[in-house]
Chains A and B, each alone.
Chain A
Amino acid sequence: MKLKSLSAKDLVVPYNSRNLGFKTTDDLEDLDCVLGQDRALEAIRFGTEIASQGFNLFLLGEEGTGRNEVVRDFLQEKARSMEVPEDWVYVHNFEVSHKPRAIRMPPGRAKILTTAMEAFIEDVRAAVPDLLEGEETQSRLQALQEKFQEKSEAAFEELRQEAEAKQIALIRTPMGFGFAPIIGDEVAKPEIFEKLPRAEQKRYESDIQELETKLQAIIKRIPTIDKERREAIRDFLSETTALAVGAAIEPVIGQFRDLPEVLEHLNRTRDDMVRNFHSIHLAEKKSESTEVSEEGRPSSFEIGGFDRYKVNPIVAHDGNSGAPVIFEDNPTFSNLMGRVEHISRLGTLITDFSLIKAGSLHRANGGFIIIDVLKLLRQPFSWDSLKRALKGQCVTIESVGQMLGLISTISLEPEPIPLNVKVVLTGSRWLYYLLSAYDPEFPDLFKVEADFDRDMERNGAAESLFPRMIATQVRKDGLKPFDASAVALVMQRAIRMAADREKISVHQRSISNLLHEAAFYAGQDGVPRVSRKHVSQAIEKKEARSDRLREKVYEMITRDIVLLSTEGHAVGQVNGLSIIELGGFAFGRPTRITARVRLGAGKVIDIEREVELGGPIHSKGVMILSGFLAARYAVDHPLSLAATIVFEQSYGGVEGDSASSAELYALLSALSDLPLRQDLAVTGSVNQFGEVQVIGGVNEKIEGFFDICKRRGLTGTQGVLIPATNKHHLMLRDEVVDAVKAGTFHIYPISTIDEGITLLTGVGAGKRDARGRYRKGTVNEKVEARMMAFADARRAFGSKDTEKENGGNAKGRGS
């Protein structure tokens, strides 16, 4: 029975633009759902609804499936209806300055507090110095200083006078004070003192001892007096300041009376400012006069000037924007967790609470954060920090040094902020499975997987929605409208991308790129709509941009540098088809496969494997051939052939078993000595029973052989043998379909090796008759006869060896 080649209608899914029911995409409504991702969307819906801990999401799937856009759109829609989360501010901690306090407040209030505090500080800055530097305050301050100075001097003066009355001077010495007899206006010289009567000397000595005791008492009292002076001045300044500060802060207190935490901070602010205003003011003035840069910050956490009363609004919402959806594109440790920045002052790095910067977790708190898991894992410490934050349900800002315990100096330790965020990780499947397998915390923290598919079923609903998806994309991206013919070709292309006629690709990036490129060519033509021509042009041009390597390969074949016959017959030689895929562009490469046989020990040698150019699946395919031969031919005899199979002129690796049927045809040809048609190419794997099995890349492989044949000129007999089960995957380009339609190229669906060998040799494969023998002249008969001959020859060789061995022995024995 002659094998029928496929007809043109079997090679492509035809879309008649007239049947699509619209003229251009302008006639179509936007698609309000995501096509082909029902499973993933259901998972996202579930993951975002459930509030329990650990139900964070992992969106897995290929790059370009549009999962980021899908989840972002979904989350933004959902977030709009959610409550706006609370604002957070960091403020100075008046008790422990290196541990800034975090205060929460209703959304929108952080900005109000920040502005109010800045206004308050400005008010106080302007009003209080005038008050302090006013004539009245300065006079009272001066009087106070003098009072205490007089108090300490009075004690000295009293003692000095007492000494003077006894003709003794109180004198300053290098280390303090001393008493000395005075004669005239001078301290008595030793020689004069020694001339004084003994009694007089004794009197001086006694008086000086008494005065020394009193002086010691006075000196001991001085620190107390000094302390009293400082306290009195501070109290006075505080009293003076309190009124002005109280008046300035009262409006702020009035605004935040409903927030106890803020109120408490404002009260502390007032008390601290009243207590320290004078010293802060002086420090600021000094800083200005000495022109110290960096805004006069001090070299410690004791933040200087009035900045300590400011508020750092680390998370501030505008009050009516819904929950946040943050897309963290660069999830470094500090971008994620926040950081404490430093400024350099005179070679020293300093910081304070105003330099605390929010991380994306802070900004996403109360909402969602989307992170690419590969980027996250590439960043040192980010993954562990994120897990720690999720487990602890709080976000702590710390440096890497602090986190690792490498820094022993005191650093800023901002109070942790409670965390309530839904984390959405996006990444490839293998990363998801790796994390599931190797990170024991991962399953507890990311309990919801949303798997994005590349393809969807091509049913009626999909076919009616797909054009709307295109229309939506066209409008969203601001492209020219696509007419129905263009949409039809895009759909055909999407089926081709799915590599299955019953599926259609929903790979967003590829479709979007095609739309943009087609629209570009329409723009170049200056037409208002994108038509089929432009889509076709986009496909061809894209291939042309990528096909440098294909062109080189085909050129080498057509110039006979790489040997490949496309007509005639040859024994032990067949055209196989392989796929080369580089940078997302795949093409079929026809390759000559040859087989040679001789008497041997039943081994089929795969030369690719021997030289380690064949991958394990390829080797598996070749080993299956041995199984097929051994089980089908001369089953009662030992397999006694030695065969070698090789991909001629293949200098790279070979992987996959899609050439195993071709290898088998070459082997059968070599065994039967029947030549194979060289105008045909073969693809398909084979099992031990001789059934031809499905392979990948069927379209590219067919087109690869077609291209070579076309370059050499189609003879009308050329074609490709494909596994019959691959019929569903055919979505060939128009040129090939047209050739098939014209009968100049053929595609044969093959189910068994027998079908294939019959077609290739033009000789029937043959079946065993009732006696278990193949009909004479068939391929199988010839193969089995050759196998038997090998077996006999091997046996004969074995007998000769035995005789020789026996004869040798007899001779030996005879001598």
Chain B
Amino acid sequence: MSPASDPARFHRILVALDATTESRELLELAADLASCFESQLTGLYVEDEDMMSFANLPIGREISSAGAGLLDLTRQQLETHFRNHAAQVRRVLEVIAGAREISHSFDVRHGRPEREIQDAAKKTDLLAIGPRLGAILRPRGEDIRRRIPDSPADALLLVSATPQPLAAGPVIVAFGGRRLDERSLDVAKRIAIKLGRKLAVGLIPYERGHPDMKQHLETLLRASEGETPAIEIFQTRDSGDFFSRLATRRPGLVVVADDILEQCDWYWGRPGFPILILRNGEHGTDD
């Protein structure tokens, strides 16, 4: 089945990796999704050009985060660092993908991470990215916020390390009764079934949404084939209220349509949970 005929399926998942904890958690989740949808998983490690420039500058010095001491950083040290990290990330990818028996590959690029990831994402259905995209420090989440609109693919975001194992929480989907929400519901349901989690549906009353969302939701759930996960429905006032309620529900994954982001700009700076953002319209080229 092609993506066009099965909009809830991801054929190719690209996960941007570094050697951080968040990156590993992101990889775990991306691998779970790849396992759900039988996707090809590609890990991408970018040797950051900005960091290399910094190492080459005559005034470039490191300040240790462990003791605040000043350290010299040479080009040679940095190259070794890149090599080691790439090798480490590759090993982790192989272990995680191997454990799930999913098809996978690994790629190393040199350049500016945001640019390289954008470029690689053109050939993918789902881009999984962590909280930071490059060496330059920006406010948490700003990297993602700034670059999501440019990405052609759906996106799996992990803004910060989750406070509990991902597998423990329910899959929560924002549902407003619109057509694009139906895709969100379909994807969330599949994931919940595959990962054996509860599905929680947060109803958001959109102006253009269905007049009787709950009934519409129940109709959709009844109409869908196959098994049904345990479902909990909760009403929210709006998209802001939806995000506010996430903290107490400790989701394993949140599934939303991309337009919700415009309404909840504030959310990006918060410690959060993995969010699967589904693009409104065409997603991922299939060449």
Q: Which B residues are in CB contact (< 8 Å) with A187?
A: 50-51, 53-54, 57, 135-136
**Which residues 62-104 of B have a CB within 8 angstroms of A?**
62-68, 70-71, 73, 77-78, 81
Q: Which residue of B lies closest to A143 (CB)?
A: B247
Which of B112, B136, B139 is the one whose CB lies under 8 Å from A171? B136
Which of B59, B64, B132, B250 is the one whose CB lies under 8 Å from A172? B132
Query: Are A190 and B56 touching (Cβ within 8 A)?
Result: yes
Query: Are B60 and A180 touching (Cβ within 8 A)?
Result: yes
Determine whether A806 belongs to the interface, using a CB cutoff of 8 Å to chain B.
no
Query: Are B73 and A178 touching (Cβ within 8 A)?
Result: yes
Known: A178-B61, A178-B62. A149 touches B271 (CB 8 A): yes
**Which residues 256-278 of B have a CB within 8 angstroms of A?**
270-271
Among A138, A169, A173, A189: residue with most chain B CB under 10 A? A173
Determine whether B168 belongs to the interface, using a CB cutoff of 8 Å to chain A.
yes
Closest 9 CB pairs of A and B: A176-B65, A219-B68, A187-B50, A138-B248, A216-B68, A190-B56, A142-B247, A187-B53, A171-B135
CB distance from A661 to the nearest CB of B (A): 98
Determine whether A212 belongs to the interface, using a CB cutoff of 8 Å to chain B.
yes
Among A139, A142, A187, A216: residue with most chain B CB under 10 A? A187
CB distance from B251 to the nearest CB of A (A): 12
A-B contacts, 14 listed (Cβ < 8 Å): A138-B250, A139-B247, A156-B137, A173-B51, A173-B54, A174-B62, A174-B81, A176-B66, A178-B61, A190-B56, A193-B57, A216-B63, A216-B70, A219-B63
Q: Which residue of A lies closest to B136 (CB)?
A: A169
Q: Which A residues are in CB contact (< 8 Å) with B49?
A: 186
Determine whether B149 belongs to the interface, using a CB cutoff of 8 Å to chain A.
no
Known: A174-B73, A178-B62, A188-B53. A139 touches B248 (CB 8 A): yes
Q: Which residue of B lies closest to A186 (CB)?
A: B50
Query: Are A190 and B53 touching (Cβ within 8 A)?
Result: yes
Known: A142-B247, A186-B112. A212 touches B65 (CB 8 A): no
Known: A187-B53, A187-B136. A178 touches B247 (CB 8 A): no
Determine whether B58 belongs to the interface, using a CB cutoff of 8 Å to chain A.
yes
Query: Are A175 and B136 touching (Cβ within 8 A)?
Result: no
**Which residues 135-170 of B have a CB within 8 angstroms of A?**
135-140, 165, 168
A-B contact sample (6 more), CB < 8 A, given A169-B50, A170-B137 = A153-B139, A172-B51, A174-B78, A175-B66, A189-B56, A190-B57
CA distance in complex: A178, B57 (Å): 11
Known: A178-B61, A193-B57, A289-B165. A172 touches B137 (CB 8 A): yes
Query: Are A177 and B63 touching (Cβ within 8 A)?
Result: yes
**Which residues 155-212 of A have a CB within 8 angstroms of B?**
156-157, 160, 169-178, 180-182, 186-190, 193, 201, 204-205, 208, 212
Q: Which A residues are in CB contact (< 8 Å) with B168?
A: 289
Q: Which A residues are in CB contact (< 8 Å) with B65?
A: 175-177, 219
Which of B58, B70, B81, B139 is the one whose CB lies under 8 Å from A190? B58
Q: Which residue of B lies closest to A177 (CB)?
A: B63
Determine whether A240 belongs to the interface, using a CB cutoff of 8 Å to chain B.
no
Q: Which B residues are in CB contact (< 8 Å) with A146?
A: 270-271
Q: Which A residues are in CB contact (< 8 Å) with B137?
A: 156, 160, 169-172, 177
CB distance from A281 to the nearest CB of B (A): 12
CA distance in complex: A212, B54 (Å): 15
Known: A189-B53, A289-B168. A212 touches B247 (CB 8 A): no
Query: Are A171 and B51 touching (Cβ within 8 A)?
Result: yes
CA distance in complex: A219, B58 (Å): 24
Q: Which residue of A lies closest to B70 (CB)?
A: A212
Q: Which A residues are in CB contact (< 8 Å) with B50?
A: 169, 171, 180, 186-187
Q: Which B residues are in CB contact (< 8 Å) with A171?
A: 50-51, 54, 135-137
Determine whether A687 belongs to the interface, using a CB cutoff of 8 Å to chain B.
no
CB distance from B115 to the nearest CB of A (A): 10
- The count of residues in chain A whose C-beta lies closer than 8 Å to any C-beta of chain B is 42
Q: Which B residues are in CB contact (< 8 Å) with A138?
A: 247-248, 250
Q: Which B residues are in CB contact (< 8 Å) with A160?
A: 137-139
Determine whether A105 belongs to the interface, using a CB cutoff of 8 Å to chain B.
no
Query: Are B62 and A176 touching (Cβ within 8 A)?
Result: yes
Query: Are B135 and A173 touching (Cβ within 8 A)?
Result: yes
Q: Which A residues are in CB contact (< 8 Å) with B250?
A: 138
Determine whether A804 belongs to the interface, using a CB cutoff of 8 Å to chain B.
no
Q: Which A residues are in CB contact (< 8 Å) with B81?
A: 174
- The count of residues in chain B whose C-beta lies closer than 8 Å to any C-beta of chain A is 39
Show the binding face of B for A, using Cβ within 8 Å.
49-51, 53-54, 56-68, 70-71, 73, 77-78, 81, 112, 132, 135-140, 165, 168, 247-248, 250, 270-271
Task: Give chain A's interface secondary structure class.
Answer: helix
Among B63, B65, B135, B140: residue with most chain A CB under 10 A? B63
Query: Are A176 and B61 touching (Cβ within 8 A)?
Result: no
Which of A157, A174, A208 is the one whose CB lies under 8 Å from B59? A208
Determine whether A18 belongs to the interface, using a CB cutoff of 8 Å to chain B.
no
Determine whether A220 belongs to the interface, using a CB cutoff of 8 Å to chain B.
yes
Determine whether A303 belongs to the interface, using a CB cutoff of 8 Å to chain B.
no
Among A142, A156, A157, A174: residue with most chain B CB under 10 A? A174
CA distance in complex: A231, B135 (Å): 32
Q: Which residue of A lies closest to B165 (CB)?
A: A289
Query: Are A180 and B247 touching (Cβ within 8 A)?
Result: no
Q: Which B residues are in CB contact (< 8 Å) with A156?
A: 137
CA distance in complex: A585, B41 (Å): 90
Q: Which B residues are in CB contact (< 8 Å) with A337?
A: none
CA distance in complex: A620, B223 (Å): 115
CB distance from B14 to the nearest CB of A (A): 22
CB distance from B96 to the nearest CB of A (A): 17
CB distance from B231 to the nearest CB of A (A): 20
CA distance in complex: A598, B54 (Å): 129
Q: Which residue of A lies closest to B71 (CB)?
A: A175
Determine whether A17 belongs to the interface, using a CB cutoff of 8 Å to chain B.
no
Which of A170, A180, A212 is the one whose CB lies under 8 Å from B53? A180
Which of B60, B67, B248 is the one whose CB lies under 8 Å from A135? B248
CB distance from B116 to the nearest CB of A (A): 14
Query: Are A212 and B73 touching (Cβ within 8 A)?
Result: no
**Which residues 100-158 of A have a CB within 8 angstroms of B?**
134-135, 138-139, 142, 145-146, 149, 153, 156-157
Query: Are B68 and A220 touching (Cβ within 8 A)?
Result: yes
CA distance in complex: A145, B163 (Å): 11
CA distance in complex: A558, B204 (Å): 117
Determine whether A215 belongs to the interface, using a CB cutoff of 8 Å to chain B.
yes
CA distance in complex: A220, B69 (Å): 10
Query: Are B271 and A175 touching (Cβ within 8 A)?
Result: no
Q: Which A residues are in CB contact (< 8 Å) with B271?
A: 142, 145-146, 149
Q: Which A residues are in CB contact (< 8 Å) with B70?
A: 212, 216
CA distance in complex: A142, B57 (Å): 41
CB distance from B41 to the nearest CB of A (A): 25
CA distance in complex: A217, B81 (Å): 26
Which of B61, B66, B139, B248 is the one whose CB lies under 8 Å from A212? B61
Q: Which residue of A lies closest to B132 (CB)?
A: A172
Q: Which A residues are in CB contact (< 8 Å) with B135?
A: 171-173, 187
Q: Which residue of A lies closest to B55 (CB)?
A: A173
Q: Which A residues are in CB contact (< 8 Å) with B53?
A: 180, 186-190
CA distance in complex: A188, B59 (Å): 11
Q: Which A residues are in CB contact (< 8 Å) with B54?
A: 171, 173, 178, 180, 187
CB distance from A155 to the nearest CB of B (A): 12
Among A134, A146, A180, A186: residue with most chain B CB under 10 A? A180
CB distance from B247 to the nearest CB of A (A): 4
Q: Mark A517-553, 1 if CB is under 8 A from B, else 0.
A: 0000000000000000000000000000000000000
CA distance in complex: A215, B59 (Å): 16
CA distance in complex: A188, B54 (Å): 8
Q: Which A residues are in CB contact (< 8 Å) with B62?
A: 173-178
CB distance from A247 to the nearest CB of B (A): 24
**Which residues 411-460 of A have a CB within 8 angstroms of B?**
none
CA distance in complex: A208, B136 (Å): 15
CA distance in complex: A216, B68 (Å): 5
Q: Which residue of A lies closest to B167 (CB)?
A: A289
CB distance from B129 to the nearest CB of A (A): 16
